[in-house]
Each structure stands twice: as C-alpha cells, then as structure tokens.
Structure 1
Amino acid sequence: MRILLVGATGLLGTAVHQALAERKHDVVTVARTGGDLRFDVTDPAQVAELYRTAGQVDAVASAAGHVPFKPLRDLTIADHQAGLTGKVLSQVALVREGLAHVTESFTLITGVLAREPVVTGAAASLANGAVEAFVRAAAIEIAPQRINAVSPTVFTEALDVYGDYFPGMKPVPLADVARAYVRSIEGRQTGQVYVP
C-alpha cells in the first residue's frame, strides 16, 4: 500500500514508519521540517496542497498533534484553540481534504486523556475526546473508506520527559502503538479507537 504518514519525524512517527516499512508498504513521510514532503497540517491550505503534491494514496496515518499542558485556571481560550487546531482540526482537515485522494483508510492519533484525565491535561482531554467523537461520526459517512484512531497512554520511551504528567498510568512501548496503526491500516474495521 502507498501510505501518507503525517508527523513522520517525531518519536511516534518514526516508530510507525519503521513498522510500516517492515511490512513492505510504500511510506511517504510528511512533517513540518523533514520527511519526503514538508507541510504544516495545522494550515488547511497546506493540507490541500499536500494532497495535490502527494497524489493518490491508499491510506493516511497521522502521528501529529500538539496540545498545551497547563493547570485549568491558567489555560486561556487561546490555549484551548491551539490544542483544537494542533490536534483536532488538523486531523479533521486531513480527512476532509483526503476523501478525494485516499482510497482505503485514515488512522488518527488521540490519547488516554480522553478517558483518563490528569491535572494540567484539560486541553488534551478536550482535544482527544473530540478526535474520538469525530472518528465515530465520520465512519458512518465516508464508507467504503475507513477511519480509526489510536489512543495510547504515555510511551515507555518518553517516560523521562512526560512520565510526570501521567502518574500511576501504565506506559506502552512504541512498538505496541505502531502495531495498532498496522491493525487499523491493514484491517477492515472502521469507527474504532484502538487502545494499545
């Protein structure tokens, strides 16, 4: 399959790229500052240009999404907007613009905070919950194309940086998260939120 991998140069994107390449997929990598194609998916105009440049693909896998972590009292409307733009609207644009360019499926990234909130994670919980709701809604409208999300907890390989944000939560190895992407891309289910 020819797969467009967005957020390909980050920690998760690198692991997903490796897993897909090992399975002999043709992976076209996308990131803001690296990869085969350089686009900022938080800009809808760049998302449209990305698809014009990439051409037809079988699947899109998104490993990109940024949200601010601050105490709720310190989160501004601008912070919430940044989280929604960085994680939700960017992925919605990937799907909306991709409907004419993607033959099989979309796999989006969400996260544990949609189900298990933590202190300083309100913006992330909001964004992750929105992505999951969007996946369920889009699944009933875009058939026969499929859409799923992958919802990990903190990565084992990132505990040194992010572990304090996820107290008491069991970490997950990046290889397990990458396998969830493979399941979404190569499987037949739609409207699912995979929890590795």
Structure 2
Amino acid sequence: MRILIIGGNGTIGRPVANHFAKENEVIIAGRSEGDLKIDISDSTSIKEGLSQIGQLDAIVCIAGEAKWANFDELSEEDYYIGLRSKLMGQVNLVRLGRNHLNPNGSITLSTGILADDPVVKTASASMVNGGIHSFVQAAALEMENGIRLNVVSLGVVQDAYEKYRDYFPGHNSISMEKAVNAYVRSVQGRGNGQIIRFYE
C-alpha cells in the first residue's frame, strides 16, 4: 500500500510510520518536516501537498492542535485554534483527500480520550474531539468507491505520560504497541465510521 501519514514524525506518528513502513510505501508529511510539507490548518497546503504524491491507498492524520487553558481564560480566538487546526483541518483532509485515494482506500483521523473523559483546561480540545467523532460517523455514510473513514481515539500514551500526568490524575497510560495497533485496525481492517478507542 501507499500510505500518507501526516504527523509521522511525532511521538505517536513515528512508531506508527515505522510499523507500516515494514511492508508498505510510507510518505510522511508535516507542517515543518517530512517527505513533504502539509499544514492541515490551511486547505491550500493540503491541496498542494496531495497534488505532489499521486494516488494513495490510505491517509492517516496524527496531527492537529487545540488550546489548553482554564475556561475563564479562553477567548473566542483561542477556540478557533482548535477549530481551524484539529477539527476543520481533518475535515478538509477528508474532503480533499478522498479524491486521491484508490478504490477501497481508507482515511484515519485522530482525536483522544478528552472526547469522552474531559479534564480541566480542555473545554476547547474536548469540544473539537467530540465534533470529529460525530463528523466521522456521519461522513462515513456517504463515502464512495469503497473508501472507509475512521477515527482513532487514544488515552495518554506511556511515552508522553510524564509530560501530561498532572492533567490526568488517576488515568492509566497506554502502551505504544496499543496505540500503533489502533491505527493498524483502522487501515488494515474493514471497519467504517468507527471510533476506535484505546484508553487503558
């Protein structure tokens, strides 16, 4: 398969890319580094990046940002960070990317545990994650040519637990192996419109 992984140099993206690269052609894209540059918050950047690589069998997005802050401190513009990047960035990737997929291809988006189990300072991030879940379930109903659309929703991975542990008191971390397997399930399985949750 030819697989595009946006965010393939990140904490989770790199192990996912390394796994798929064992038996597939993997193209890594990122905002500042990779085989090509794609900034998902800019639909023109998505179009230009996709136009450079031809047809694909799978697109995986492990990218997108949202503002973390106390609810009283979040401005309207703070909310737009997540709306433009993680939410509309991934929506636009589906809109534009499906036209670059071979029949029976797949698109995998990424969210996280905040959609179902929010913590303090995540009003914006939780809103965005929940919106993506609803979008995937609805848009999957209208995919054509056998294209599948899923979203992977992870808990805090062990490799990032020290950085985020104060935000997630009492939460269990998940192994990188489980994180990678979530993406394998989406890309190599047959599910469509699924929220693939690995929280513990």
Give the TM bin, normalised by the shorter chain.
over 0.9
Check whether the contact 2:153–2:197 (CA below 8 A) recurs between aligned residues.
Answer: yes
Deviation at 1:166, TM superposition (A): 1.3
Deviation at 1:186, TM superposition (A): 0.5
Gaps of 5+ in 1: none
SS in structure 1 of the partner of residue 183 of structure 2: helix
1:59-101: per-residue Cα shift (whole Å, max 9, x none)?
Answer: 1000001111101111111111101112111111111001210
Q: What is the match of residue 51 of structure 1?
A: 50
Q: Partners in 1 of 2:173 and 2:85 — Cα distance? A: 23
SS in structure 1 of the partner of residue 33 of structure 2: coil
Q: Which amino acid aligns with 2:40?
A: V
Q: What is the match of residue 143 of structure 2?
A: 142
Stretches (4+) displaced over 3 A: none
Q: Which amino acid aligns with 1:54?
A: I
Q: Partners in 2 of 1:145 and 1:40 — Cα distance? A: 23
Q: Partners in 2 of 1:39 and 1:189 — Cα distance? A: 27
Q: Partners in 1 of 2:53 and 2:80 — Cα distance? A: 28
Deviation at 1:38, TM superposition (A): 1.3
Check whether the contact 2:154–2:197 (CA below 8 A) recurs between aligned residues.
Answer: yes
Q: Partners in 1 of 2:176 and 2:64 — Cα distance? A: 16
1:160 corresponds to which of 159, 162, 171? 162
Q: Partners in 1 of 2:83 and 2:175 — Cα distance? A: 26
1:161-189: per-residue Cα shift (whole Å, max 9, x none)?
Answer: 11111111111122211111011001111
Gaps of 5+ in 2: none
How many residues are paired up? Answer: 195
Check whether the contact 1:19–1:179 (CA below 8 A) recurs between aligned residues.
Answer: no
TM normalised by structure 1 equals: 0.97
Q: What is the match of residue 16 of structure 1?
A: 16
